[in-house]
């Protein structure tokens, strides 16, 4: 681990120990605090995305600019803590850039993530070891250098299930991240993937509670690819997370959307389970895989409350649009709803129509409200109507 990364993790341990000894810094709220977190699914980087991002400078140097792939949906991410699943690695140019099945992406993807507002990425997934332990380690170093926090991987003597603790909009958030496994067997004693097990989930959430968080988020890379319903393995892991204190469960890996559930809504402490957010960006072109949604989670901590509570869940449907081919190919994440402050300039009317049809399918599948708010999000659940749980249609979006 480089010096910066080691300092980052050691400081975290010291802070948690201080919280454990002295008690919570926040404690009961004296004034109302509101915050928003936004979650997106898999951030992938297939070969075609690399080709679309490639540029040549005047001196002939080759660079990659991924910002255009996200430019149309930037308004969705304003004033929020943004969390994504990073399903690639930054192993360096000398290892050769490539897409599936062994990903390695230019470091400049972090510039696009920063531009979008991504502050946290989960690394516990099946592609984090695509370039071995050294590739995974370098990925954490690149993220540290870009100021993007990460979770789901352990380095040296720091356990993989050590939670990420951060302050945002006046609240203390705790994140843990787990994967069902990886595509490569890890042959390293100093890089550790956080693998799903009852013991690991319980231990990680116990560590999170030591920091006296306002909200605990458990992220899982799980399930069966291309299936629109959660597996028994997903259900068992979610139950373990909820049992041990998770306030919110977020899933990735199937590359397609799965339903959203809200547990304990009538008790006043709603705990959402989002089984799968699908692909945020990729070059998987069959219909279910090219559509997804940006999830907004609004939380509140009222005076006298020790923990924050989820107040509203909402979704902004998206679709990955591909225009042109070869060197002129454009790959863009497009807002697929029917409202909000979005720039569709240059998007052919036929492509916009396809996006909106895809958005309608997403909203119907998840059981969202009929109309979006001013930012383009459709309500899935609100504490103002705790009995109005998401009612997804049985038919998966096609």
In CATH, what number is assigned to the domain containing residue 48? 3.60.21.10
Q: DSSP assignment of 135-159, as one string?
A: HHHHHHHHHHHHT-EEESEEETTS-
- Measured distance CA(81)–CA(297) in Å, rounded: 10
Residue-level pLDDT at 27: 61
- Domain of 293, in residue numbers: 3-64+71-309
Q: In what order do the strands lie in the sheet containing 248-252?
A: 164-168, 171-179, 215-221, 248-252, 271-274, 260-263
331 falls within a domain: no
Q: Examine residue 361 and state whether it is found in any structural domain, yes or no.
A: no
The SS3 of residue 385 is: coil
Asked if residue 344 belongs to a domain, the reply is no
In a domain, 382, yes or no: no
Q: Do 82 and 112 contact (CB within 8 A), yes or no?
A: no
Query: In this structure, is residue 372 part of a structural domain?
Result: no
Distance (Å, rounded) from C-alpha 285 to C-alpha 325?
14
pTM for this predicted structure: 0.91
Residue 58: the pLDDT is 87
- Number of domains composing the chain: 1
- Whether residue 341 is contained in a domain is answered as no
Task: Answer whether residue 284 is part of any domain.
Answer: yes
Give the chain's radius of gyration (CA, Å). 20
Task: Look at residue 337 in the predicted model and tell me its pLDDT.
Answer: 96
Which residue stretches of the chain have pLDDT < 50? 1-25, 393-394
Q: Is residue 177 domain-resident?
A: yes
Secondary structure (DSSP) of 239-257: HHHHHTT-SEEEEESSSSB
pLDDT of residue 398: 58
């Amino acid at each position: 681990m480089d010096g910066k990364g080691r300092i980052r993790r050691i400081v975290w341990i010291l802070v948690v120990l201080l919280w454990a000894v002295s008690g919570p810094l926040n404690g009961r709220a004296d004034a109302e605090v509101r915050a928003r977190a936004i979650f997106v699914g898999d951030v992938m980087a297939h070969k075609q995305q690399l080709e679309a991002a490639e540029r040549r400078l005047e001196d002939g140097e080759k660079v990659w600019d991924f910002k255009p792939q996200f430019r149309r949906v930037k308004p969705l991410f304003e004033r929020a803590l943004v969390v994504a699943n990073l399903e690639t690695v930054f192993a360096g140019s000398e290892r050769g850039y490539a897409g599936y099945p062994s990903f390695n992406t230019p470091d400049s993807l972090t510039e696009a993530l920063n531009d979008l507002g991504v502050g946290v990425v989960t690394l516990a997934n099946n592609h984090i070891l695509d370039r071995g332990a050294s590739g995974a380690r370098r990925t954490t170093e690149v993220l540290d250098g870009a100021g993007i926090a990460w979770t789901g991987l352990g380095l040296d003597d720091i356990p993989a299930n050590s939670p990420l603790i951060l302050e945002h909009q006046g609240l203390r958030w705790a994140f843990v991240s787990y994967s069902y496994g990886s595509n490569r067997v890890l042959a390293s004693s100093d890089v550790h993937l956080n693998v799903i097990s009852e013991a690991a989930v319980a231990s990680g959430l116990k560590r999170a509670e030591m920091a006296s968080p306002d909200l605990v988020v458990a992220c899982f890379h799980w399930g069966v690819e291309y299936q629109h319903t959660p597996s028994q393995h997903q259900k068992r892991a979610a139950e373990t997370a909820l049992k041990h204190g998770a306030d919110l469960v977020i899933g990735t890996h199937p590359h397609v959307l799965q339903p959203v559930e809200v547990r304990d809504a009538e008790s006043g402490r709603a705990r959402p389970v989002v089984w799968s957010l699908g692909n945020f960006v990729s070059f998987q072109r069959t219909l279910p895989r090219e559509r997804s949604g940006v999830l907004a989670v609004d939380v509140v901590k009222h005076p006298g409350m020790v923990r924050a509570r989820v107040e509203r869940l909402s979704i902004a449907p998206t679709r990955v649009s591909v225009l042109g081919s070869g060197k002129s190919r454009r790959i863009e994440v497009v807002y697929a709803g029917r409202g909000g402050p979005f720039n569709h300039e240059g998007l052919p009317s036929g492509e916009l129509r396809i996006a909106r049809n895809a958005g309608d399918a997403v909203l119907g599948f998840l059981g969202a409200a009929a109309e979006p708010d001013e930012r383009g999000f459709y309500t899935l659940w609100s504490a103002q109507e705790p009995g109005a749980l998401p009612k997804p249609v049985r038919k998966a979006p096609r």
